[in-house]
A and B are shown apart, each in its own frame.
Chain A
Amino acid sequence: MSEPLLRVKGLRTEIPGGPGSVVAVDDLSFDIHQGEILGIVGESGSGKSMTALSIMGLVAPAGRVTAKRMEFDGWDLTGLDEAAMRRLRGREMAMIFQDPMTSLNPVLSIGFQLIEQLRWRLGLSRRQARRQAVELLGRVGISGAERRLDDYPHQFSGGMRQRVSIAMAISCEPKLLIADEATTALDVTIQAQITDLIMRLCEESGMSVMWISHDLGVVAGLCDRVNVMYAGRLAESADAMSLYAHSRHGYTRGLMKSVPRIDRRRQRLEAIAGRPPSLIDLPKTCPFEPRCAYSTPECGAKPAPRRNFGENHIAYCWADLPAEEGVE
């Protein structure tokens, strides 16, 4: 197998302060290969966004990121200084956020913002950059791009703004695109348009994507592989088919059972009791144990083992989960 584009080993992100430091990400390891779409699923506070920010080098100075290894396309991210990081960011790895209104500058036209970045990062002339900007907006499906270049962010609708930020993110043809809840704020019909766009861009350019979302449905359709996170730790990681067919972690299973789905109507949702733990001074044992419907005596006593289920499926869980109930 070829070298992965991104290799993360033992990532730990700590935010000091208050009564104790918050460990937002703890001992996280995963790879992203070229052209792959990796989904990251979990609830708020599970460490999804902090993982993304840690990779992008955007956590300092508020927090401390350490890792045994963090390599991206031959670069050792743990040893890079801010200047080198800045050269990678935007050019080699780019990010889109949930709310494009806060990630775009409201007092500059979107043309200015796109062109500025093309000139600065790729060294294009004003005219070349403008031509490229028009082409980019066309690629993400904004009609009348030439005319809209001089519009300001507030003149665009939410879906259009998200397209603009995608255009901006892919402008330098990054090898890795990190999308943090990129379609969460959008209407379902617009969401379908955006995920289609992301898939097309991956196929066209071989870009890799880290797709952060809490929506199990969108992830099922878009992602090749999925990491499920809970309380800053990796709970389960598997290729999408295997994960949805037979989840092996109590938390993943609980999540799947608690969402209403139109293809399997049920009288009652099986909610997960309780709520996520505080990230200060978590025990070494499974953080989901108090809420888990499948917990065993070992769960509260010893840290959960890393178990392999087939080639591409791992879970940190003591319990042996039955095959999914209710599957036709």
Chain B
Amino acid sequence: MIDEPLLRVDDLSVTFHRPPLRPFGKPSTVRAVDGVSFTLARGETLGLVGESGCGKSTTGNALVQLIEPSGGRIMLDGDDISSFRSREDRLKARRRGQMIFQDAYASLDPRMTIEDILQEPMRIHALGNRQERSRRIQELLDQVGLAQSFRKRYPHEMSGGQLQRIGIARALAVEPDFIVCDEPVSALDVSIQAQIINLLEDLQAELKIALIFISHDLSVVQHISHRIAVMYLGRIVEQAPADTLYDAPRHPYTKALLSAISVPDPVRERENRKNRILLHGEAASPDAIPTGCRFRSRCPIAGECCATMDPALAPLPVDSHHDIACVRVLSGEAN
């Protein structure tokens, strides 16, 4: 029997409404996430990659109920948390999915001490008494590798790397089943980045937490993820185990994205430069999504059928764990 995944996202969509640009104009809608489906197993790391505006952060926000989805379902252990309406139900679901943000400093209240910051989620979810919470804070600081002396400090007294450790400790405080990490290392220096990535990996091994790792840095995502989903304009265009995706990408967008990654090796980098798939232009705007395939305006292999058919994500015939959304590749017309 196959285990039911921890999280199953079905046809999730998030639409934003924008007021009209000029008086008496029409309000516009932006479909930031437009029919995204994936699963997340217990203790697994799913990487979400894509360029700015592709909807990866919006997806992450919807999973932890920071944004109301406008369609689709988010099933957590079989319960549709997006349909929860009562305060208690929503609070219960919130405890199980926590979040880590890119800008750790902005995500921490500057007027609270570290102790208060770590205690707040436990208080909100009514976990433990005063003593137990204090003991838990001690444990959390140990887990993220900070000394107990940080308890009485304020966020402005700490460095970026230390703040991100606090962000992680706060997410862990309520013992969640999964954590959405939205660009958690992008703002950090390279040497500190590695410390935080290692910490996340250690914590996952120890606590068996599932992670959704959102980043635009493809090398980092490849390193930390078990599976990766590539997003483009509100849709997942390719999804596969990390090694498969990097070794044998099939979607033309993934191929271009991967070929643009630079490696710290001048010889290889100069070689890559010649074979680099340069995409022309930029992604269309999510308030004017083109008909048919949304990637077709930049796609090197676009054909006539791409203008009319909106490709759905489907497994490759040769590998059922490798899904792509490209009519031409799936039909065997192109590689």
Q: Is B301 an interface residue (CB 8 A)?
A: no
Indicate which residue in B190, B201, B219, B273 contacts A262 across the interface (CB closer than 8 Å). B219
A193 surroundings in chain B (CB, below 8 A): 278-279
A255 to chain B, nearest CB (A): 6
- The size of the chain B interface, using a CB distance under 8 A, is 43
Q: Is B261 an interface residue (CB 8 A)?
A: yes
Contact with A along B205-230 (1 / 0, CB 8 A): 00000000000101110111000000
Q: Main SS of chain B's interface residues?
A: helix
Please tell me if the beta carbons of B260 and A269 are within 8 angstroms of each other in the complex. Answer: no
Please tell me if the beta carbons of B197 and A260 are within 8 angstroms of each other in the complex. Answer: yes
**In whole angstroms, how far apart are the Cα atoms of A189 and B298 in the complex?**
11
Please tell me if the beta carbons of A191 and B260 are within 8 angstroms of each other in the complex. Answer: yes
Please tell me if the beta carbons of A189 and B223 are within 8 angstroms of each other in the complex. Answer: no
Please tell me if the beta carbons of A214 and B218 are within 8 angstroms of each other in the complex. Answer: no
Q: Is A240 an interface residue (CB 8 A)?
A: yes
**In whole angstroms, how far apart are the Cα atoms of A218 and B272 in the complex?**
12
Q: Is A258 an interface residue (CB 8 A)?
A: yes
Please tell me if the beta carbons of B266 and A192 are within 8 angstroms of each other in the complex. Answer: no
Please tell me if the beta carbons of B264 and A192 are within 8 angstroms of each other in the complex. Answer: no
Binds B, one of A23-31, A156-164, A309-317: A156-164
Indicate which residue in A192, A258, A271, A273 contacts B278 across the interface (CB closer than 8 Å). A192
Please tell me if the beta carbons of A255 and B51 are within 8 angstroms of each other in the complex. Answer: no
Q: Is A325 an interface residue (CB 8 A)?
A: no
- The size of the chain A interface, using a CB distance under 8 A, is 45
Interface centre among B161, B224, B273 (most CB of A within 10 A): B273
Q: List CB contacts (< 8 Å) of A266-286 with chain B.
A: 266, 268-273, 275-276
A254 surroundings in chain B (CB, below 8 A): 191
Please tell me if the beta carbons of A189 and B191 are within 8 angstroms of each other in the complex. Answer: no
B218 surroundings in chain A (CB, below 8 A): 188, 262
Given contacts A220-B265, A261-B219, contact A43 B191 (CB under 8 A): yes
Q: Is A320 an interface residue (CB 8 A)?
A: no
B173 to chain A, nearest CB (A): 24
Please tell me if the beta carbons of B282 and A159 are within 8 angstroms of each other in the complex. Answer: yes
Please tell me if the beta carbons of B260 and A189 are within 8 angstroms of each other in the complex. Answer: yes
Q: Is B189 an interface residue (CB 8 A)?
A: yes
**In whole angstroms, how far apart are the Cα atoms of A192 and B161 in the complex?**
29
Q: Is A122 an interface residue (CB 8 A)?
A: no
Q: Which residue of B lies closest to A159 (CB)?
A: B282
Please tell me if the beta carbons of A220 and B219 are within 8 angstroms of each other in the complex. Answer: no
Contact with A along B177-191 (1 / 0, CB 8 A): 000000000000111
**In whole angstroms, how far apart are the Cα atoms of A268 and B205 in the complex?**
13
Please tell me if the beta carbons of B191 and A258 are within 8 angstroms of each other in the complex. Answer: yes
Interface centre among B222, B257, B262 (most CB of A within 10 A): B262
A-B contacts, 8 listed (Cβ < 8 Å)? A157-B282, A188-B260, A189-B257, A196-B273, A244-B264, A260-B220, A261-B264, A262-B258
